Structure 1
Amino acid sequence: MNTFLQIHPLDNVLVALQDLEQGAEITFNGATIPLLQKVPAKHKFLVHSLHAGDAIRMYGVTVGKTLKPLSTGELITTQNIEHDANAFHEKDLAFQWQAPDVQKWRNRTFQGYARPDGQAGTRNYWLVIPLVFCENRNVQVIKTAFEKGLGFAPEEIYNEQVNELVNFYKNNDLEAIRNYAPAPAASRQKRHTLFTNIDGIKFLSHEGGCGGTRQDAEALCALLAGYIHHPNVAGATILSLGCQHAQVSLLQGALAKLNTSFSKPLLVFEQQRSKSEYDMLSEAIKQTFLALIDANKLERTPQPLSKLTIGLECGGSDGFSGISANPAVGHTSDLLVALGGKSILSEFPELCGVEQELINRCENSEIAGKFIHLMRNYERAAKQVGSGFDMNPSPGNIRDGLITDAIKSAGAAKKGGSSPITAVLDYTEYATQPGLNLLCTPGNDVESTSAEVGAGANIVLFTTGLGTPTGNPIAPVLKLATNTRLATRMPDIIDIDTGGIISGQQSIAEVGEDILEWIIRTASGEVYTKAEQLNQDDFIPWKRGVSL
């Protein structure tokens, strides 16, 4: 195994692939580099000395600048460099793409749910949605009733543990409590339910719908419309209080924009027009049950891979993300694009510094112009409240080698592969154009994943170097570890180990092809992701304020 890596020939730093001790001598390009400090795995050290104000380069782009003179072999840290990034401008280069060979997948299909509007689902869910936070309690009542009644409720393994501890306490056995060790959790797969063709009922509780701006309500309704229109959804039950900003008419208008011939069942119940809460909830439960009977009639059938839309997401990133999991996912994206499918790359604060590369990959100047407009508006809004993209890296990111936003961004952008950008979407816009789509979202994992699914992603690829449990209510989220140590330590949340790239046992292309096979099995219902098994149903709408 190599002990270090130069990612791009223009880079003036090397990445440690394992812990390197102070005083060790690294041979690179015929020169000897003495390490001036211990360099932990995932961190970077200088190829040659630099003056104060010089650029730090990784992935072939500027990712920071020095705060003081630095020596050959010196570890770069938040104390000696700061965020810096290349400027960007209008599209100025034609883009040529060499698509990967996808011949062996040309006739492959997945077993999906064909929708009347031409989309194909990887799951078949019913949604229950409150239009305002006032209805969250009522949604919880319906959730408890249906999940227990239909067998969708999470396994009560922790309830059993508490019951055992209670029994110890009743027997005055404090020593047994102190020494208590629960049995190992068994692998959890999809449970048998009454409706065998329905994967579950999902509940999109949130804290919006009223009290904010009218624009917040409009954005919320547009996002919810994306979920209802989504191919993984058979229909929806809507609970409205009645007086809130997020009116039923706003939701219906947003649905009409997505599909003028929208025909899915939409069951609407308004509390302020009901005789009582009991009457409303009883009627909602009855009508929803009847709708489930119809939804259960739909069965999986062979669907072309071009009907897949994958979200490209990362969270809890580390210094290996940009050299293992992210480029592997990027190759998978290229394969799917070459097969006529769609992929969605979001998290605009984590595209800082690579804007020009993305601009030049846009199919035309109009698409590029929209990207420039959204990026500049977003950054301007952040600066107006005393923030900025440079504040995006989390303490965990920094601790594991991503010490500037530009370093993090240059690696994060690798999830988008190398294909042309065929569309740029503002938040809550829906992906309809085959190819790579850029979607304006925050870098926040859940806000971004929620938006990608709202834009039509029927599978999400989520890379992590530190371990993040993020899931989604309606789209399977495949979790990819950037390193084998993480995959071994957190097998209950990790689906795929890409650490073979770091060890040199696998190539980026090989792992990217393996990921595509995982997608096909997951989309067909043969595999249920760890997030699905754990009922990790994360959903957070973006209020369009500053969130990095």
Structure 2
Amino acid sequence: MKNKAIRLHPRDNVGVALSNLENLEAILVDGEKYTVTHAIPAKHKFALKELSTGSEILMYGVTIGEATQPISKGEPITLTNIRHKASPYSLSYGQYEWNPLPSLDKSFMGYLREDGQVGTANYWLVFPLVFCENQNIQTLQEAFEIALGKKKVNPYVDLILSEIHSVDFSEKIQSTPKSSGLNTTFENIDDVRFITHQLGCGGTRRDAQTLCRLLAGYVNHPNVAGATVLSLGCQNAEFRLLEERLNEIQWDAKKPLIHCDQQDLGTTKALLQFAIKKTVEGLKSANQVKRSLQPISKLVIGLECGGSDGFSGISANPVLGRVSDLVISNNGSAILSEFPELCGAEQNLINRCKEKETAEKFIHLMKTYDADAKAVGSGFDMNPSPGNIKDGLLTDAMKSLGAAKKGGLAPVADVLDYTEYIQRPGLNLLCTPGNDVESTTGLASAGANIILFTTGLGTPTGNPICPVIKVSSNDAVADKMPDIIDFSTGGVISGEKSVEECGDELLDLVLQVASGEIKTKAELNRNFDFIPWKRGVSL
């Protein structure tokens, strides 16, 4: 018989409804009988004992809130009777013991770069250093997509016409783009990818420097063969800043980097002709690289969540933790992002740090970020979105303890600030906001060559240079959004599968995507999102 509710840790004083519970319904949790005092929707929580005002609310064995009024046994936990509270944390390191998982005889077909990194795709990247060049980027994008067979006819044109003329054109709507003609010309190039943004001038010098550092990570990324860069010539985000950062992070080989300066070249036509000529030359060179058999140790998995629900911390996020531990046990790397969504999980992560300096850096970044957020009238406690709250994630600590499950159990090898590039194999913590696109943008810049993205509510987010695999926490959203979700962990909620079984299956999908055998839904829908983080402003 399927469990209707669960206690996640022996210390917890709240349970989680796995299905809708009726008013006065009797249920069993760990063999003890409870009667719920109100109807409780699936994913929401209820008290497992009498709680007085000020009592700490415990989930995952730690504090996720405190009671603002007495709560009776079986009563729903809501924003009317609890508020955010997180456990304090302090410095510790080097005492954590972990037994790696068994080695796997698995591999993937990737693009080996001269610097030793391995790409899961082979892209040529085109981007501006300043928003003034966005229109020229869009012109280049349209020209290349038509020439290389990537141009997608907007499937909703016929729908508009049907509304205007009252004629049914609905059957003509297509959910995915037509097959590409790119590989008939450049058989080893997966795509030419284009980025636009609203930064590069005005704003602060810090924003311009951050943008150049971020874009340098994209150029250095193993999925990128080379890049074409457009600049106006007078912007704050100077080309020299991009070059300086590349010199810091590029190792043994320099990638082709084509600089097109409009004020130097003159007319728009001259700029675009130069950019096209040099880019095609770059594509011909990049086409010489072919996929080859590569070990799991060359995987760098980005760990992300967005549109989370009350099941995310029970199914999808622990499944990602399993994949992370499998990859790290085989000498690969994983990057856990979204620092506002680690609030309450700090002590566990600090305890797992291998070195004192790593733990100190994590504490410094967490405290600085929280202080910056409070300085603009916010704070980590304001992270949960209306959608999170509606689906059972009431406080930031409640959300964070579930989100941290993506990082598995491996020791923390390194802590990276935003725009820093991965240097050490193992589990890395990357300071990004909880904002989905700002965070995935940062994960790609840090060197993640594939991103696993959990969601309970559904989101189309993708990335220009890094395949994004959407993992749902429940079957309902996977069934409702099959054009967005790549993999469902709903079997964990129903009891049909274990976290370990789902994790092993997901790793097989990761290797297929990394080999180019399967395209993610975000790739098929061409969801290529890029938003740099303006620090202190976003959670």
Fold shared, TM-score > 0.5 on shorter chain: yes
Q: Within 1, Cα distance between the matches of 2:172 and 2:15? A: 44
Secondary structure in 1 aligned to 2:156? helix
Q: State yes or no: 1:322 paired with 2:313.
A: yes
Pair 1:44 & 2:45 matched: yes
User: Deviation of residue 543 (structure 1)?
Assistant: 1.5
Q: How does 1:317-356 map to 2 (within 5 A)?
A: 317-356=308-347
| Alignment of 1:7 onto 2:19 | no
Structure 2 alignment gaps of length 5 or more = none
Pairing 1:418-457 to 2, within 5 Å after superposition: 418-457=409-448
Match of 2:171 among 168, 172, 182: 182
Q: CA deviation at 1:192?
A: 3.2
Amino acid at match of 1:271: Q
1:506 counterpart SS class:
coil
- CA change 1:190–1:254 in 2 (3 A) is farther
Query: Does residue 527 of structure 2 align to residue 541 of structure 1?
Result: no
Contact 2:127 2:228 in 1 (8 A): yes
Structure 2 equivalent of residue 124 of structure 1: 122
What residue in structure 1 maps to residue 378 of structure 2?
387
Whichever residue aligns with residue 81 of structure 2, its letter is N
Within a 5 Å distance, the mapping from 1:125-140 to structure 2 comes to 125-140=123-138
| Cα pair distance change 1:520/1:189, threshold 3 Å | farther
Q: Give the Cα–Cα distance (whole angstroms) in 2 for the partners of residues 372 and 496 of structure 1.
A: 34
Pairwise CA distance, 1:129? 1.0
Query: d(CA) in 2 for partners of 1:286 and 1:319?
Result: 52
How far did residue 158 of structure 1 move? 2.6
Is the Cα–Cα contact under 8 Å of residues 189 and 528 in structure 1 kept in the other structure? no
Residue of 348, 351, 355 corresponding to 1:360: 351
CA distances 1:451-498 after superposition (whole Å, capped 9, x unpaired): 001000110000000001100001110000100111111000000011
Matches within 5 A, 1:88-487: 88-91=89-92, 94-102=95-103, 105-106=104-105, 108-162=106-160, 164-165=161-162, 169=164, 173-174=165-166, 176=167, 181-183=170-172, 185=174, 191-193=180-182, 194-259=185-250, 261-487=252-478
TM-score (norm 1): 0.96
Contact 2:121-2:190 within 8 A present in 1 as well = yes
Whole-Å separation in 2 of the counterparts to 1:189 and 1:303: 30
2: CA distance, partners of 1:509 / 1:101: 13
Letter of the 1:339 partner, please give it.
Answer: N
Structure 1 position 134, deviation (Å): 0.6
Task: Note the alpha carbon deviations across 1:265-303, whole angstroms, 9 max, x for none.
Answer: 111011111231111111111111111111111111111
SS at match of 2:85: coil
Percent identity, aligned pairs only, is 54
**1:190–1:533 CA contact under 8 A, matched in 2:** no
Q: How many residues align?
A: 536
Letter in 1 for 2:359: A
Superposed displacement of residue 385, structure 1: 1.5
CA contact (8 A) 2:155 2:172 kept: no
Q: Answer yes or no: is the 8 Å Cα contact 1:232–1:475 preserved in 2.
A: yes
Q: CA deviation at 1:109?
A: 1.7
Aligned residue type for 1:488: D
Superposition deviation, residue 154 in structure 1: 2.8
- Give the SS at the match of 1:302: strand
Q: Which runs of 5+ in 1 are unaligned?
A: none
Distance 1:3 1:184 in 2: 41
Give the CA deviation at 1:30.
Answer: 4.9
Q: Secondary structure at the match of 2:285?
A: helix
Output one character per residue of 1:353-374: Cα deviation in whole Å (capped at 9) or x when no partner: 0100000000111110000000
Is contact 2:23–2:39 with CA below 8 Å preserved after alignment? Answer: yes
The Cα of 1:161 is off from its aligned counterpart by: 3.9
In the alignment, which residue of structure 2 is the partner of 1:82? Answer: 83
1:50–1:189 distance in 2 versus 1, CA, 3 Å: farther
For residues 535 and 128 of structure 2, what CA distance do their matches in structure 1 show? 20
Per the TM alignment, residue 239 of structure 1 is displaced from its structure 2 partner at its CA by: 0.4
Tell me if structure 2 keeps the 8 A contact 1:161–1:182: no
> Are the equivalent residues in 2 in contact too, given 1:20–1:40 (CA < 8 A)?
yes
**Taking structure 2 as the reference length, what is the TM-score of the superposition?**
0.97
In the other structure, the counterpart of 2:501 is 510
What does the per-residue CA deviation read over 1:155-195, in whole Å, with 9 as the maximum and x for residues that have no partner? 54233444x52xx74xxx53x36xx6335646658623221
AA of the residue aligned to 2:431: C
What residue identity is the alignment partner of 2:327? L
The aligned amino acid for 2:418 is: Y
